[in-house]
């Protein structure tokens, strides 16, 4: 493992009496693809929300490239280069795909408020750059034919792709994908895996939450397994595949003994 980009230390999240996460420790190295897996309710999405600032942990600390994330708001964490996608609400439904990306390129716009009101040349050239960039992103995720359709009218799988493009629009150094291939068929999933590898090859670190085991096994460098809010295993796909604790968590005790 290379130098750690994201470090999660002793994080616990309690919702009233319910312990969603207890004492979670893991780290993601620069340029790694790490997957977070576990049965439903294991705390994967909670972990995601803590890292991206949508939830404050009850205890523990999260840091990214040496900066502590505790107490930061989601848009500030996005500003540090951490971008995420969402399970369900991955698009701005009433805008075209193209406009979605223009919204996503928010952080790339360097013009001041006054410049854009007055329509100064600086604002116009920046606007032109943003439009070009939006076009590139649309094309990169393979949605150029859908560019002028309302994002809300796209299929589930296509909306996922818009979600990824939106996250990439912020030019993140780390991307967190929350169940990105659910709702995709096998060939869409295959294309998506290629896309994820492509993104990593650009130097973007990736943390993935996913239920599709073949996808996780094929794409991950390392896998972290959560169950009942704690980490029960961590290692390479091969090690995880043969880990008795993991098999037990997924299939029950009988299967582990068999």
Smallest gap from residue 254 Cβ to other proteins (A): 40
Exactly one of 106, 155, 214, 241 binds other proteins (CB under 8 A); that residue is 106
- Kindly tell me which of 133 and 211 has the beta carbon lying closer to other proteins: 133
The CA distance from 155 to 182, in Å, is 12
The CA distance from 145 to 158, in Å, is 11
Residues whose CB is less than 8 angstroms from the CB of residue 61 and which lie 6 or more positions away in sequence, other chains included:
9, 10, 11, 68, 70
Residue 102 binding other proteins, by CB under 8 A: yes
- In a 10 Å sphere around its CB, with 0-12 CB exposed, 13-18 middle and 19+ buried, how is residue 2 labelled? exposed
Tell me which residue has tokens 């897996």: 37
Q: Locate all alpha helices (DSSP H) within the chain, ordered by sequence.
A: 44-51, 74-79, 97-104, 113-118, 121-140, 156-169, 186-201, 213-219, 237-241, 244-251, 253-257
Exactly one of 39, 70, 139, 255 binds other proteins (CB under 8 A); that residue is 139
Taking residues 183 to 222 in sequence order and writing x for each that binds other proteins by CB under 8 A, - otherwise, the string is ---------------x--xx--------------------
Residue 30 binding other proteins, by CB under 8 A: no
The CA distance from 167 to 97, in Å, is 13
Residue 7 binding other proteins, by CB under 8 A: no
Taking residues 140 to 179 in sequence order and writing x for each that binds other proteins by CB under 8 A, - otherwise, the string is x---xx-xx--------------x--xx-xx---------
Taking residues 48 to 77 in sequence order and writing x for each that binds other proteins by CB under 8 A, - otherwise, the string is ----x-x------------------xxx--
Longest dimension (CA), the chain: 72
Residue 106: name the closest of 195, 151, 172, 205 by CA: 172
Q: Which residues bind other proteins (CB under 8 A)?
A: 52, 54, 73-75, 78-79, 83-84, 86, 89-96, 98-99, 102-107, 109, 111, 113, 116-119, 123, 127, 130, 132, 135-136, 138-140, 144-145, 147-148, 163, 166-167, 169-170, 198, 201-202
């Amino acid at each position: 493992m290379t130098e750690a980009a994201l470090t999660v230390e002793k994080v616990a999240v309690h919702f009233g009496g319910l312990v969603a996460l207890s004492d979670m420790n893991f780290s993601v190295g620069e340029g790694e693809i790490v997957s977070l897996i576990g049965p439903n309710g294991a705390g994967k999405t909670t972990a995601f929300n803590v890292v991206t600032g949508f939830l404050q942990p009850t205890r523990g600390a999260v840091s990214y490239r040496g900066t502590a994330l505790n107490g930061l708001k989601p848009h500030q964490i996005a500003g540090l280069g951490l971008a995420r996608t969402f399970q369900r609400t991955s698009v701005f439904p009433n805008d075209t795909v193209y406009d979605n990306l223009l919204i996503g390129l928010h952080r790339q716009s360097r013009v001041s408020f006054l410049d854009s009101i007055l329509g100064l040349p600086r604002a116009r050239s920046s606007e032109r750059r943003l439009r070009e960039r939006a076009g590139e992103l649309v094309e990169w995720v393979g949605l150029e034919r859908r560019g002028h359709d309302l994002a809300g009218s796209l299929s589930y799988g296509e909306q996922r792709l818009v979600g990824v493009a939106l996250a990439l629009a912020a030019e993140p150094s780390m991307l967190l994908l929350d169940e990105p291939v659910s709702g995709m068929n096998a060939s869409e999933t295959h294309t998506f895996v290629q896309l994820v590898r492509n993104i990593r090859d650009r130097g973007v670190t990736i943390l993935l939450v996913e239920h599709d085991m073949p996808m996780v096994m094929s794409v991950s460098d390392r896998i972290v397994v959560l169950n009942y809010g704690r980490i029960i295993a961590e290692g390479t796909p091969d090690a995880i595949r043969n880990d008795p604790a993991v098999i037990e968590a997924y299939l029950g005790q009988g299967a582990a003994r068999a």
